[in-house]
Chains A and B, each alone.
Chain A
Amino acid sequence: MNVIKGFATTFKHVLEESVTLQYPEQVRPFQQRYKGRHHLRRYDNGLEKCIGCSLCAASCPADAIWVEAAENSDEERYSPGERYAKTYEINMLRCIFCGYCEDACPTQAIELGHEHQLSFTDRRDVIFTKEMLIDPVPAGGQDTPQQVAPGAFNRSIPDMENPK
């Protein structure tokens, strides 16, 4: 009797749709809030959102982020306001993908995306530089550094809204 019961379970599953995916040919859709590798975002005009404030590095529990800042000018503008990230590096071996950097960011410049294929053959390859992290320039935008009209982008942080 038990044997029949057991086989019944087996046959039931044979007829069911398979849950196995043929990775990497097939990829399961990601949850919206999945935390994969980081992206540095740009505004529509191509300016970098990152202002080099280093708060992501400060909030990082694994000490994986390294930021060095420098001063913007209207002739050579990377981001709105006075400050931009000259160096931005994330050590993916250290990163624990907790997303604290995302939370700390005052301009929503850093976001954890859905890329998860992060295996390496050389330890030196795990340091992701700014060039590797930053988004491509959006259509209609311009790459940084940009030459802009004086005083056009003098706020680091986009206008705040009133408390509701």
Chain B
Amino acid sequence: MVKIYIDDREYDVPAGMNLVDAAKWHADNDIPVFCYHPKMEPVGMCRMCLVQQGAIEKDRATGEVVLDEHGQPKVRWMPKLQTACTQRVTDGMVIRTNTAEVDQARQNVIEFLLTSHPLDCPICDKGGECPLQNLTMEHGPGMSRMQFQDKQHLDKHVPLGDLIYLDEERCIQCARCVRFQDELVGDDVLAFHERGRRLQIITNSNPGFDTYFSGNTTDICPVGALTTADFRFGARPWELTEVPSIDPFDAAGSNISLSIRLDRDFGGKAMIKRVMPRQNESVNEIWISDKARFGHHFTRSENRAQSPMIRNANGQLMQTTWEEALKSVASILKAAGKDVAAIAGSQMSNEDLWALREVMSAVGSTRLGAWPITHAGADLVAQVGVGVGSNLGDLGKGDAVLIIASDLEEEVPIWRLRLKLAKERGVFLAVANARHTRMEDFATACLRYDYGMAAHFLSNLRAENPDLAQQLAQANNLIILTGAEGLSLDGSRALMQAAANFLIETGHVGKPNNGLLSTFPGPNGMGQYYMGFTPENTQDIMINPPKVLIVAQADLYHDDPSASQWVHEVETVINLTLFADETLSHEAHTILPIQSFAERDGTFTNGERRVQRFYTAQGPIADALPAWQVLSRLGEKLGRGKAKLSAATVMADIAKNVPAFAGVTYKEISNVKRQFPDVGGRDLYYGGTAYQNRGGLGVQLKTTAESGEAINTAPVELVNAPRSQAGQMLIVPTTVLYNRERTFLPSALMHPRVMMPYAEINSADAAKLGIKSGDVVEIVADTMRVRVKAHVNGGAPEGSIVLPRHLTTEAVPMTMTLGRVSKVD
């Protein structure tokens, strides 16, 4: 700690802290900035942060403080004002931010910036939450000495990509967007062009500005120069109500804020106008992926299920009331005895899952399946997952991360962003996969194994890669992040066990920033496990279909090509669903419409086992109800006691019955505390328009390792993966972020970014089969037959075909399988 003096008051601050940050955090003194951002390196371009700076003079010989004639320490002032953002605090630093000279400097900078800023505020999307507007009110000259006619008239509608538009007139050249792309994302597709008054932001890349994080530039833009295609003119910022929520797409569980406003076209109900990041420094800092930001349209899809439907004697689905529907379902369940099973998707909240489990125990069944069945080993994450208080942002020199069998950028983009930054802070980042993934561009070490051999690779790490093994073992903190690419469910379990063993053997468990992470699909993969839903159970359900199957928010036919076979053997399907147009609807006996994450309260448990809360934001769709409410009422009819009236009481039930959730309450999940840096408060110019966290930072569940129990390694049951052989190739399903899933397809503005169905084929295989890049190929594997475009590039290793899931309308296998490929003429 060092002593500094700001406006004649003394403060103790950590040495080396940025002066703007220090003044704000420790002295509550907001130094105005445009180009400085607490998450980026300072550049000192905008000159808004000018302050008077000096140092207490010390005698060189004695080191004593020199006193002036009044006995006060003598301050040696710098001859000119200094930019605060480029200063780091040192002992005896003296700063004045309230002198006439500083005021004049601020006024001049504002006046200068406004010489060519358009008078657009009434139609500007930033108007009302605009740093330039606010700082003009606070520090501006009030009158302009400039000629209005001198303002430059430039292009006001330049698409930088499909999602972000640039207004050249409004840009004040702070370079925050350019630096964000370069420093934080690592995709330097934005740059300055020309100089002086003609300076402009451009992109000359092909495709243009298309990173998965492009929306964040609109948050940090201190003017309205960058706007999103989604929100353009949607509402004025002051008309919006902020509702805390959670990204419903991936395991990171990014904290988001749904900005809602009543809307005529939505029946006068509250509607999501935009999705903004909400600060949670341990989860997503102040960034969210474009999928989270622009993927909210499915909540208002025209295909949303409207009211309960029951199939009548003629086999037609007829609309009915909730009471009738639930009565009918209850009698079906009672009649089925114990021959009932349930499959729950990973967008179900903890409360939904618990209520479903209650229904299942009412009928005496324990067949609780999790969907999709790609990632195994959630139990191991519960045992040796990253410790309470983990934060990828804390990783630094001496720490190590191993990413294996995952295409992290496509699976959990926020983790990819944060691990890229961790690597730059000195983390040893190893990436192992059977093919090149984007993460390798940022890795310290890249390793290859053959598809299906991830668990073998990790089990034999010490023997075959002793250097790497040692690097990882000796790291201060070690996180192993697994995916399930190119693995069967058994293979995924083997990989998780191998990873857990390595962590246990090297003592990297039960501590913060140490342990196992996995890219479970959907926002609540860990919640599924804690509530008793496992993919292994689902496998069993698929092999021995029950008489009655409850399917909850699982798009079976779109995910699994074999669904038509095994679902057919189920006598009665009860489908709790968001969408009425699922193929399963043709089979289902009862369709129960449920609410999406935006319309109700609930909690998700993210990949780091953080239970986080989302709140009711959007108006309801017709008769749809929250799944927990539907199931709780069903439970009442089956004799499980009175139906619960709120999500919070369901959580109270969970806390009572699920040991890991002991003590978890909505109140505790909703606790917030001040986070560094202070973003989204009264001074939007400092951190951008990401919202302050008012909805809760969540509660991280303890791992078994932390509760003091001894954790032992277990043998890894290695699975022999299929190998490509005569005429047969390995079909490797992979994940791409932008796809045609039912929860993403309704976001029409993302359509240009969703790839046409394709498969990557190695050039050697392509030559053998006479396939050129761009040819249409047919891929056939036991229950699947799809036609896609072939991409012949270095993407796929020889003998295998990389086939992204959810790009085709037909289902692609969930796990690796053998199949044939042929060219279609």
Please list the residues of chain A having a beta carbon within 8 angstroms of any beta carbon in chain B. Answer: 51-55, 57-58, 66, 68-71, 81-83, 87, 106-107, 154, 156-157, 159-163
- Chain B residues 109-126 with CB under 8 Å of chain A are 119-120, 122-123
Distance in angstroms between the alpha carbons of A107 and B122 in the assembled complex: 10
Instruction: Judge whether A55 and B263 touch: CB under 8 Å.
Output: no
Is A163 within 8 A of B143, CB to CB? yes
- If A81-B123, A83-B233, A106-B122 touch, whether A160 touches B264 (CB-CB below 8 Å) is no
The proximity string for B residues 620-647 relative to A, scoring 1 for CB distances below 8 Å and 0 otherwise, is 0000000000000000000000000000
1/0 per residue, CB under 8 A from A, across B255-276: the answer is 0000000011100000000000
Cβ of B144 under 8 Å from chain A: yes
**Given A58-B236, A68-B264, does the pair A157, B148 have CB atoms closer than 8 Å?**
no
Besides the contacts A156-B123, A161-B148, what 11 more A-B pairs have beta carbons closer than 8 Å? A54-B236, A57-B239, A58-B239, A68-B264, A68-B265, A82-B157, A107-B122, A159-B148, A160-B119, A162-B149, A163-B144
CA distance A53 to B238 in the complex (A): 12
Chain B window 400-422, contacts with chain A (Cβ cutoff 8 Å), 1 for yes, 0 for no: 00000000000000000000000
Contacts of A55 in B (CB 8 A): 122
Q: Name the residue on A nearest B268 (C-beta).
A: A66
Nearest CB in chain A: distance from B218 CB, A: 16
In the complex, which residues of chain B have a beta carbon less than 8 angstroms from the beta carbon of A107?
Answer: 122
A82-B123, A156-B122, A156-B123 given; A53·B236 CB < 8 A:
yes
Whether A71 touches B232, Cβ cut-off 8 Å, given contacts A51-B122, A53-B122, is yes
- The reply on B147 being an interface residue by CB < 8 A is yes
In this complex, the member of A69, A82, A83, A156 whose beta carbon has the largest number of chain B beta carbons within 10 angstroms is: A82
**Cβ–Cβ contact A51 & B123, under 8 A:** yes
Taken together as a complex, chains A and B put the C-alpha atoms of A152 and B703 apart, in Å, by 64
Shortest C-beta distance, A65 to chain B (Å), equals 11
Residues on A with beta carbons closer than 8 Å to the beta carbon of B120: 156-157
Total B residues in contact with A, Cβ cutoff 8 Å: 22
Residue of A nearest to B143 (CB): A163
Query: Which residue of B123, B234, B236, B264 has the most chain A CB atoms within 10 A of its CB atom?
Result: B123
Please tell me if B156 contacts chain A, counting CB pairs below 8 Å. Answer: yes
Could you show 18 A-B contacts with beta carbons less than 8 Å apart? A51-B123, A52-B233, A53-B123, A54-B236, A58-B236, A58-B239, A68-B264, A69-B123, A69-B233, A69-B234, A69-B235, A70-B233, A71-B233, A82-B157, A156-B123, A157-B120, A160-B119, A163-B144
Q: Which residue of B lies closest to A68 (CB)?
A: B264
Q: B157–A162 contact, CB under 8 A?
A: no
Contacts of A82 in B (CB 8 A): 123, 156-157, 233
CA distance A55 to B123 in the complex (A): 10
On chain B, the residues within 8 Å of A70 by CB distance are 233
- Docked Cα-Cα span, A83 to B143, in Å, equals 27
Q: Which residues of A are found within 8 Å of B156, using beta-carbon distances?
A: 82, 154
* B261: nearest chain-A partner, CB-CB: A68
Cβ contact within 8 Å between B119 and A157: yes
- Taking a contact as CB atoms closer than 8 A, the residue among A54, A68, A156 that contacts B263 in the complex is A68
Chain B residues with CB below 8 A from A106, complex form: 122
In the assembled complex, the Cα of A80 lies from the Cα of B324 at a distance in Å of 55
Instruction: Give Cα A66 to B236, complex, Å.
Output: 12
- Residues facing A in B135-151 (CB within 8 A) are 143-144, 147-149
Across-interface contacts of A52 in B (CB, < 8 A): 123, 233
Complexed CA–CA distance, A163 and B147 (Å): 8
Chain B residues whose CB sits within 8 angstroms of the CB of A83 once the complex forms: 123, 233
Q: Judge whether B238 and A58 touch: CB under 8 Å.
A: yes
Task: Report B159 CB to chain A, min CB distance, Å.
Answer: 13
Measured in the bound complex, the distance between the Cα atoms of B169 and A157 in whole Å is 14
Shortest B675–chain A CB gap in Å is: 31
Quick one: which of B122, B232, B235 has the most chain A CB within 10 A? B122
Residue of B nearest to A151 (CB): B155
* Nearest chain B residue, comparing its CB with the CB of A161: B148
With a cutoff of 8 Å between Cβ atoms, the chain B residues found around residue A71 in the complex are: 232-233
Q: In the complex, what residues of B have CB within 8 A of residue A54's CB?
A: 235-236, 239
Minimum Cβ distance to chain A for residue B149 (Å): 7
CB distance from B270 to the nearest CB of A (A): 14
How distant is B163 from chain A, measured CB to nearest CB, in Å?
Answer: 15
Residues of chain A within 8 A (CB-CB) of B157 are 82
Which residues from 202 to 255 on chain B have a C-beta closer than 8 Å to any C-beta of chain A?
Answer: 232-236, 238-239
Partner of A160, one of B148, B235, B263: B148
- A157 and B122: CB pair below 8 A? yes
CB distance from B489 to the nearest CB of A (A): 48
Given A159-B148, A162-B147; A87-B264 close (CB under 8 Å): yes
A79, chain B: closest CB distance, angstroms: 10
Instruction: Quote the shortest CB–CB distance from A91 to chain B (angstroms).
Output: 13
C-alpha gap A157/B156 in the complex (Å)? 14
Question: Bound state CA distance, A5 and B164, in angstroms?
Answer: 85
Residue of A nearest to B125 (CB): A83
In the bound complex, what is the Cα–Cα distance between A161 and B123 (angstroms)? 19
Q: Mark B502-518, 1 if CB is under 8 A from A, else 0.
A: 00000000000000000
